[in-house]
Amino acid sequence: MSFHNRIEGNEIIVFADTSLYSKDSIFKCLYWYGDKYHANVSFVDSNTYKISLKPMSDNLISAEQAEKLLQKLERDLLDFNLRDIVTKETKNIRDLLIAKAFSNGEFDELPPGELSDPVGFNVNEIKND
């Protein structure tokens, strides 16, 4: 079953595949619409979110504005999904980075790889006795 994004009267309706869009990204995106629109998210089936925006009563919009709004919402959903991917993929490295920044050396380590110097001996083998 396929769902088409559309404008129904004054309401903007967009569908998103649950395997492509994270729930977090949808809510983070809709946060920015909350001052002017009633935003709603629901499941139409287990694979599809239905997202709708309804202008608040003091914010009536024209057909042309509705068309633009639909476009903006589609684009913002994509953008926030990308942001969410970056945030989640980089969570650990970000934590490590900040822990290192505020630590006093306890998270420092030697750079990975072979350490050698131009004179040719391996510093890793030099022992301090």
Partner 1 sequence: MIDAKHERKTRKFKESDYYDLKKDGQYFLLPFRFHRITPEKEIIVNEVGDFLILPTGTCERIVKRQIDKKTDSELYGDLIANYFISEEIIPPLIDVLATRYRTKKLFLNHFTGLHIFVISLRCEHTCHYCQVSRVTQNRDKYDMPIDYIDKGIEIMFKSPNPHVTMEFQGGEALLAFDNIKHAVEKAESIAKEIGKGLTKVICTNLAIVTEEILEYCKEHEILISTSLDGPKFIHDSNRHKPHASSYELTIKGIELARKILGHDRVSALMTTTKLSLDYPVEIVDEYFNMGFQGIFLRNISPYGFALRTEKSRYDTEKFLTFYKKALDRILEYNFQGHYFTEDLARIFLIKMLSPFNVGFVDLQSPAGLINGVIVFNYDGGVYATDESRMLAEQKDFTFKLGTLDDSYNELFFGKKAQEIAEVWANESLAGCSECAFQPYCGADPVHNHATQGDMYGYRPNSDFCQKNMEIIRYLIELMESDKKIKNIFQGWARTVNH
> Footprint of partner 1 on this chain (CB under 8 A)?
28, 31-36, 78-80, 82-87, 89-90, 93-94, 96-98, 100-102, 107-108, 111-113, 116-118, 120
Distances (CA, A) of 1 to 19, 21, 22, 43, 108: 15, 18, 20, 14, 53
Residue 121 token pair: 């001996």
At which residue do the structure tokens 């395997």 appear? 19
Q: Which is nearer to partner 1, 54 or 83 (CB)?
A: 83
Contact (Cβ atoms closer than 8 angstroms) between residue 123 and residue 116: yes
- Quote the least distance from Cβ 67 to partner 1, whole Å: 17
Min dist. Cβ of residue 94 to partner 1 (A): 4
In the complex with partner 1, the residue whose CB is nearer, 64 or 109, is 109
Query: Minimum distance between the CB of residue 87 and partner 1, rounded to whole angstroms?
Result: 7
What are the tokens at 28?
């983070």
Beta bridge partners of 95: none
Measured torsion, CA atoms of residues 99, 102, 107, 112, in degrees rounded to the nearest 10: 90
**What's the min distance (Å) between Cβ of 2 and partner 1?**
23
Q: Which is nearer to partner 1, 6 or 91 (CB)?
A: 91
